[in-house]
Chain A
């Protein structure tokens, strides 16, 4: 009786060790690879935009397809901080010493995409603007699914996050 109980437990343990553990390990590696690919894609995209001074539909869709190639769905958040070098006028409220320095106003993913996917297929930027992109996975990866099952983690959690930003270096229009 106790022997068969031990056997059942042993089979369970063995099943977990022989299947779940390697699976988790491989899924983790898979995520690492995806993370690497996503970081590279984001950083590449940001650098391209910075040096070209514009976000084009071509670049954006190339970036999207690089992300898609990892097999996950991603949330892409873009932000352009548009530099206002307008002197003093609109930014005097900040502080006495900031008169004359630059302030920024932001445009976000929806506004940017409206332009990028619109008639002009381009969102032009100018020298001095700041462009940043964050990509995080939307669908859960295999590693997340397994971990959730084992560790009973509530909520999805985010596994793959990549962020890059920088100052735009040329005026694209």
Chain B
């Protein structure tokens, strides 16, 4: 055969191959691109979900009935809607999508939710009729008393129908947000918690609920010497420092107001003795331990004195002496089973009881600070790292945190060891070992971690033990606990779904990277998973994590926006800064007054578009543009003006209009419209020139020559007397700092450092002011949150 023939045969073989191959390749490329596209859409939809949560969370307040869970449900719905639309189907129906989503994780401040399909019985509860069950034939819900279909239905005494649900009804999937799971771990000295009686030495079994910051809640029992105590308390753990340099210092002449019961001599059983009066206790009059007892020690089981009886040998509170029994008269106060006179404790552990409220505990702090709020006079001086805190809310945070931390340090710090971590229902089984291994193995990096390390030590070695530092043992352990809990529950949710899913997809939990965990463990976040989505020749699966930076449920550094002082709120020239921005240092250095801060959401979601009327106000030789809407004045840039300025504007305002003018530009005739113009006293035009940069709202004089014989005031040129614009209006005056908040690439300085990196002085008054503001505002907002945490439902 000749060479050309060979070549032709070769081509006949190669050409189809090549065509097929290139088609196949193109298909693969298309599939890959489609996958990338889907991943991007998943990320976007997740972000939409978290935005929905942010907006909803702004209405979370100290009001009963708000439920974080409903906001999470809304976020999940938003996610599905956006994802459906992104994938080209209607947002109204997301059932198509649901089958591909094995779980959604939503982490909040002190715990997390998992959204996943759950198998439930298809029943309907009705208060009047009872429980309806699904008819096997057509899926219809029927109230069935059992007469038709055998004996499964039972009519109860109230005439309602009930069913034995276990036997009769088929399971079906319901997609729902499962109950809240706290970031919690159980610690017990003995693996077999059930067998402990908490009466000897180091016995304890305590559940710790962690949060994204240093707030913890403690529940459980422990042995205080030979006495078993039950606790249920929560608070912020602060590093206390050694006694020489304490973090939080309460001045010894501080005065606490305590509502006490007056101790009067009782002479007859009918005498009413429960009259109340304020006891003013100076801080120095009790020892620290006594204060901790007074504020932190639970009432129950604590009084270990002898129980006094009345003459008949009966205990107090019996029928004869319902209000208690008092041996001596005189003005004394009964607080938590102790008697006080006006200066100090005069009798420890007497068993006086009364019908009055419990006036001990944190209510002492609340009561004292409420007095300060009412009268404006401060009786308690609190210093944090040397800064005197003046804000009452911040004081409340530090006082409560101080006593709580001191109490934890005294009672539990030498008990709770990290290696004592147990599963929730522990009886010393393999689960325990698994749990310990998970936590311990993950922490190999920490020296001596697997030995007898104590979890909490608030007195020494700040670097290793400050719960607020990410590097501390406590924080690292906390993160392991949270990570472990999420991993376990999410994995089980996804694999349960997989076990029951009747399709070809193998659902499994993806392994998060360190960066992913970092996002989940430090912020409110939403993680979505999609698997098994058909995509060309194959299927696509991915996960996306979105975090929230503007919400009302968690405060961190990026949520606080600082101003040089409170007056700067109405000063357009001062900007919002992050606390460690060196530009803030500059501004504060040249200003007076305390540094002020807002929370980011107050600023971020503060704008609305409105149609406004435009006015001009003469300021010197210039005219400046102002907006008027619904009784309020705004600067030309949409920021609200303060009352004083508003009155001034009101007095000098002039309406603006628009007009045709005809000018000579060289020899050519030019017609133009002047928008928002005013005419000054010498009949010159001033108008707002939009093309001019940095004009600060000034109307510029119109300088071009009008053509001769042209009169703009002539009616035929139709001067319109007023003009309106659609603009965005804001309640806040201040702008973002160009360096820190806008670009995120900014020069930071450490306001806590001994030597200020900006002024190079060891005692920088500016740093001092910023430090004080930081301690004040982080505490103030955390305290609000603390009060809110109890009120919201999960």
Contacts and interface: CB of A to CB of B under 8 A. Distances in A.
A169 B523 CA distance: 13
Contacts of A33: 25
A35 B28 CA distance: 11
Contact size range, B = 35 or more
Contact of B728 (A83, A99, A164): A99
A25 B18 contact: yes
Contacts of B639: 87-88
A95 interface: yes
A25 B4 contact: no
B540 to A, nearest CB: 12
A125 B742 CA distance: 9
Interface stretch (A7-15, A65-73, A141-149): A7-15
Interface string B7-44: 10011001000100110011011001100100110011
Contacts of A88: 635-639
Contact of B25 (A22, A29, A82): A29
A35 B327 CA distance: 94
Nearest to B737: A86
Interface in A21-43: 21-22, 25, 28-29, 32-33, 35-36, 39-40, 43
A93 B4 contact: no
Interface string A115-136: 1000000011111000000000
B695 interface: yes
A169 B741 CA distance: 15
Contact of B727 (A43, A51, A100): A100
B675 interface: yes
B47 interface: yes
A50 to B, nearest CB: 7
Contact of A47 (B43, B695, B725, B745): B43
Nearest to A83: B742
B36 A14 contact: no
A87 to B, nearest CB: 6
A173 B558 contact: yes
Contacts, number: 154
Contacts of A123: 745
A18 interface: yes
Contacts of A14: 3-4, 6-7
A40 B28 CA distance: 12
Given A32-B22, A87-B735, A125-B744, A169 B638 contact: no
Contacts of B519: 51-52, 170
A95 B692 CA distance: 10
B186 interface: no
B138 interface: no
Nearest to B42: A47
B692 to A, nearest CB: 6
Interface string B252-289: 00000000000000000000000000000000000000
A32 B25 contact: yes
Nearest to B726: A97
A7 B726 CA distance: 81
B730 interface: yes
Nearest to B744: A124
Nearest to A99: B727
Contacts of B742: 82-86, 126
B125 to A, nearest CB: 41
Contacts of B725: 96-97, 99
B515 A93 contact: no
A92 B691 CA distance: 8
B546 A40 contact: no
A111 B725 CA distance: 39
B549 A172 contact: no
A22 B14 contact: yes
B738 A86 contact: yes
A50 B515 CA distance: 13
| Among B690, B725, B726, B729, residue most surrounded by chain A Cβ atoms (within 10 Å) | B690
A171 B744 contact: yes
Nearest to A59: B515
Interface in B671-712: 675, 690-695, 697
B190 interface: no
B555 interface: no
A40 B675 contact: no
A13 B728 contact: no
B547 interface: yes
Given A10-B2, A17-B11, A87-B735, A99 B18 contact: no
Nearest to A43: B36
A44 interface: yes
Interface residues of A, number: 55
A156 interface: no
Residue of B40, B544, B558, B745 with most chain A CB atoms under a 10 A cut-off: B745
B546 A51 contact: yes
A87 B637 contact: yes
Nearest to B725: A96
Given A22-B14, A169-B546, A51 B43 contact: yes
B637 A21 contact: no
Contact of B745 (A99, A124, A164): A124
A8 to B, nearest CB: 10
B743 A25 contact: no
B689 to A, nearest CB: 9
A139 interface: no
B7 A17 contact: yes
Which of B638, B675, B695 has its CB near the most chain A CB atoms (within 10 A)?
B638
A109 interface: no
A87 B730 contact: yes
Interface string A151-173: 00000000000001010011111
**Which has the most chain A C-beta neighbours within 10 Å: B21, B36, B515, B694?**
B36
Contact of B638 (A36, A99, A125, A173): A99
A170 B546 contact: yes
A61 interface: no
A89 B572 contact: yes
A25 B519 CA distance: 46
A115 B545 CA distance: 25
Given A86-B735, A89-B637, A124-B745, 18 more contacts: A13-B7, A25-B14, A25-B18, A25-B21, A28-B22, A36-B32, A39-B29, A40-B36, A44-B36, A84-B738, A87-B735, A89-B572, A92-B637, A92-B697, A100-B728, A100-B730, A164-B36, A173-B744
6 contacts: A35-B29, A51-B544, A51-B546, A86-B736, A93-B690, A94-B690
Q: Shortest 10 CB-CB distances between A and B: which pairs?
A: A88-B637, A100-B728, A14-B7, A43-B36, A124-B744, A86-B735, A100-B638, A10-B4, A25-B18, A170-B547
Interface of B: 2-4, 6-7, 10-11, 14, 18, 21-22, 25-26, 28-29, 32-33, 36, 39-40, 43-44, 47, 515, 519, 523, 544-547, 549, 558, 572, 575, 607, 635-639, 675, 690-695, 697, 725-730, 735-736, 738, 741-745
